[in-house]
Chains A and B, each alone.
Chain A
């Protein structure tokens, strides 16, 4: 496969592994206290496990799997809200497939579908808008989910619905932002991360500027990376180089896709359609200031929260995580997934208890699916 295989070349990888090995010491990593580098994005987590990178890097370096998997950080109360909307008469509820198995307080969308709710999997918000067009006597609701990557597509769809006067279409908006939880993590006194691999697709939209505080206020390096194994390895070399030289900067390994100022058209669409919520609840991390967005009043007719009266309320969102579930500690990098007492026993991909086990991009599911030593570690 041209333009893909070049980024998976084992010979080039060997060179990068050698550089990682020679840099990890000068960067401050030891076997007793390995450097902790957080890959923020779930896509990176998946790639690390898929290619076995975690087992190929030296022991002086460890990956911490960040909060960048949107279905993993979705609070249970929001799943409950989805089900409440989907159960209304006349509603067709549309969602990306990943969200189907996320457990709510009582059930998941998959279970609600089996019980008779009209819930459909779509691949784009535009598919949901098309469903609305074809079903003029039904109320079609799209479950808007994801970071800055998926926000523009939802925004464009809302504007299209408004332009077409498609009033039987609305969006249940749960879009969230990448920089605020990073600030929250860095402000946590327990945090001991040394550097970050920044998300490629999110940065393609927002550029590299929004990460500046990480270097300037917290003194940590961040390198935006692509999703192929060589991208990731090169980004790690760049982080280690910064640490070894005592620098903390925002660098861009993924320049073939990510421009420094992002995508102005997409940002304009985001700006036009959404406004920040005062705070939003992250599963495992709790309420984080200005970390989520809602639909602006101008588009209230297309806002499912308004249409169905299921507003986002702080009281409602109070975390009711299953007892003993340690998703939050995993997301903060305090423990590895097998250290959670539920991992591999009560919490497995076919019956996820915690959110990190749901999506293939969740740290626990990736660990469980690809981790070479999960059963021994879980025992």
Chain B
């Protein structure tokens, strides 16, 4: 009996063509040469699905948590990160803020014909690095190529599965008046970095995205403050949207102190020039936790001890209401409502 013929794998070069999505040899070269290598899936034979061994925490009464998120950021690479890091950490963070320990990720790539394969390799390696830093594994994936104009360069969708250990329960509905709101660092960096990187503003800044995996930080907070009621990451719509969502879901109000918001001079200057409000700028490595007053100090200390929480700050308190209303006491001695963002944040004209 003859041994099966295994053709030598060729490392793909140049640009992605429709053939790379066609299901034939070119696609196999792309998948094996770029993704399998980068994600470290080699070794075991590739099947159409990942086969996973349940972790101990699941067997001892834990719950599975699952989430998915699509990433379409433009530009693909920006100061402080790239679409790959966002795709991995975004999903990791969505699991982490629910109290889950993230384990596995799937990756689906929609690639526009004509993208440099070298770009794809950079993204794939960045994803691997991001996964390693967050302690998760990319276990399955899919690749599609669409004709020029059918997508913009590269869209990445990740799904993630994690385990919420037994006895852990976080949710906005648990937030109560008197609870303390803490954020883990400077606000608005991601949004400002992306806007600056697009070059439309013709501003030169050194602002880098804050994108970071928050699962380690969440574990640190939860062990220091086991009574933590709720955590959310502040992504699109910024901290303002996060606070409004939690206030609405919990039927409470919030009183935020403007003077306590962690804001850097660069971000304040950027917003001042362009007419943005940093409360609405996107973040990719920022979360807010709501903890009972007795645990606030411990939660804050745990954050500040963590590399992704050095500039953590208490920003305000949960109030009786009116339900769903977020009020900010301005540094100036006045107060104003902080509402949800309407549409996109656009610079003013006069």
Contacts and interface: CB of A to CB of B under 8 A. Distances in A.
B334 A147 contact: no
Interface in A360-379: 360-361, 368-372, 374-375
B232 to A, nearest CB: 22
B331 A372 contact: no
A100 interface: yes
A267 interface: no
A259 B327 CA distance: 39
A14 B344 CA distance: 36
Interface string B336-347: 110100111011
B349 A370 contact: no
Size category of the binding interface on chain B: 20 to 34
Find the residue from B330, B335, B350 having the highest chain A CB count within 10 A.
Answer: B350
A42 B348 CA distance: 10
Contact of A150 (B272, B330, B335, B350): B350
B332 A8 contact: yes
Contacts of B343: 101, 110, 350
Nearest to A147: B350
Contacts of A372: 327, 335-337
B335 A98 contact: no
Given A1-B268, A1-B272, A52 B346 contact: no
B335 A10 contact: no
Contact of B334 (A55, A121, A150): A55
A4 B332 contact: no
A354 B343 CA distance: 17
B346 A98 contact: yes
Contacts, number: 85
B347 A10 contact: no
Given A56-B333, A370-B336, A146 B350 contact: yes
Contacts of A370: 336-337
Contacts of B327: 372
Contacts of B265: 1
A67 interface: no
Contacts of A145: 349
Contacts of B48: none
A278 to B, nearest CB: 25
B23 interface: no
Contact of A123 (B330, B337, B347, B350): B347
Size category of the binding interface on chain A: 35 or more
B336 A13 contact: no
A51 B350 contact: no
B350 A229 contact: no
Given A1-B272, A123-B200, A369-B339, A361 B334 contact: no
Interface in A40-99: 41-43, 46, 49-53, 55-56, 70-71, 96-98
Nearest to A366: B336
B79 to A, nearest CB: 20
B145 to A, nearest CB: 26
A195 interface: no
A350 B348 CA distance: 17
A70 B346 CA distance: 15
B349 A146 contact: yes
B257 to A, nearest CB: 13
A121 B346 CA distance: 9
A203 interface: no
Interface in B245-292: 265, 268-269, 272
A350 to B, nearest CB: 5
Contact of A360 (B269, B330, B332, B348): B348
A360 B337 CA distance: 14
Interface string B196-216: 000011000000000000000
Given A98-B346, A146-B350, 10 more contacts: A1-B268, A13-B333, A43-B350, A56-B332, A98-B349, A101-B343, A123-B201, A149-B350, A349-B342, A372-B336
29 contacts: A1-B272, A4-B272, A10-B332, A43-B350, A50-B336, A51-B330, A52-B333, A53-B334, A55-B334, A55-B335, A56-B332, A56-B334, A70-B349, A97-B346, A97-B349, A101-B343, A123-B201, A127-B200, A146-B349, A146-B350, A147-B350, A150-B349, A349-B342, A361-B348, A368-B339, A369-B339, A371-B337, A372-B335, A372-B337
Closest 4 CB pairs of A and B: A52-B334, A97-B346, A370-B336, A349-B342
